[in-house]
Homo-oligomer: A and B are copies of this chain.
Amino acid sequence: MSLMKGMQSIEFETAPYLVSSASVVGSKEAEGPLAKQFDVTNPDDLFGEKTWEAAESTMQKEACTLALGKGHLKPEEMRFLFGGDLLRQGIATSMGVETFQIPLFGLFGACSTSGEALALSAMSVAAGYAQYVLAVTSSHFGSAEKEFRFPLGYANQRPLSAQWTVTGSGAFVVGTRKSHVRITGITVGKIVDYGLKDSQNMGACMAPAARDTILRNLEDFGREPKDYDRIITGDLGYVGHRILLDLLKGKGVDLEKQHLDCGMLIFDQKTQDTHAGGSGCGCAAVTLSSYILPKLMKGEWHRVLFVPTGALMSTVSFNEGDSVPGIAHGIVLEHC
């Protein structure tokens, strides 16, 4: 039996389990709708460090430590670590996970990185290359504003289409040990470029990629939207969410009932001044750990398509006039 499913998907014969997970977030997330579901909320967005970058590394360290602890596992039991972030040269991850001394695959998929990390984690475990692996991603409002826009001290104005980078890190142990959630399949995304150049409207830049991956997943697995309890994108936010639903309607696919977006779930748009919603590598990761997985673990949801979305850009590409292409990876999560 081929493990390759359709054009871009894999169906796992022996589906690996999501053994444990953890979420660590900052002060703004602690004031949002998911506040009570996170494992750690810290009113100090510097997490005791001197720089935003070190703070982000510390969040990754804490998230990994917690995920390992909740699974009663040690770092040395992790065969590989798949990790990434939004900073140049993935420095939050390199500095954050060094201490664990786990063989490392560094990743970059912009805000889709949690999907990329979970896909490669599941592939490794299902193939028998590992008993346990660790997947971790993070983002930080302070380090991301500095990296992509302006240092916070400049107090620059943000348009209403802009999103608020989540300060948070989510870590996941994927392995062969039973839990109540399995990764049964994945759909690996392609770069989708509609030619949009507005880096302050990333929802619009990423929505076409989400559309592409969701349609491909449905086709590859021979499913309809109703076969999923929820289809949850990473960080399209309010603007991207609307565009995604419209794009899918154009293909005769109605996702009104199933669609949720982590960028819309994590902040209260009315009271938190976060404009078009949350974003960042950490957004999808901490929402998966705190909100989506518990519902799957309990069996409240039976099958979810988790679709982290990424905008592939740097300040250099933006300044040189390039468009902002998107990418999205689909992870099929099932209660068992």
Contact = CB atoms under 8 A, between A and B. Distances in A.
A191 B123 contact: no
Nearest to A105: B116
A224 to B, nearest CB: 22
Given A97-B191, A109-B106, A188-B105, A88 B4 contact: no
A53 B4 contact: no
A175 to B, nearest CB: 13
B98 A320 contact: no
Contact of A98 (B97, B108, B193): B193
Contacts of A73: none
Interface in A176-191: 188-191
Interface string A96-110: 011001111111111
Interface residues of A, number: 58
B3 A128 contact: yes
A203 interface: no
A1 to B, nearest CB: 9
Interface in A279-336: 312-317, 320, 322, 325, 327
A91 B190 CA distance: 15
A10 interface: yes
Report which residue of A79, A316, A320 has the largest number of chain B beta carbons within 10 angstroms of its beta carbon.
A316
Nearest to A9: B103
Contact of A108 (B4, B10, B101, B107): B107
A152 interface: no
Contacts of A54: 320
A309 to B, nearest CB: 14
Nearest to A313: B89
A2 interface: yes
A266 interface: no
Given A120-B120, A129-B3, A312-B94, A188 B103 contact: yes
Nearest to A116: B105
A42 interface: no
A316 B88 contact: yes
Nearest to A193: B98
A80 interface: yes
A322 B98 CA distance: 13
27 contacts: A4-B129, A4-B130, A4-B131, A8-B103, A10-B129, A51-B320, A54-B320, A80-B188, A84-B108, A87-B314, A88-B88, A89-B313, A90-B108, A91-B312, A91-B313, A91-B316, A91-B317, A94-B191, A94-B317, A103-B188, A103-B190, A106-B116, A107-B107, A108-B108, A123-B123, A123-B124, A127-B127
Q: Which 5 A-B pairs have the closest CB atoms?
A: A88-B88, A127-B127, A103-B188, A89-B314, A94-B312
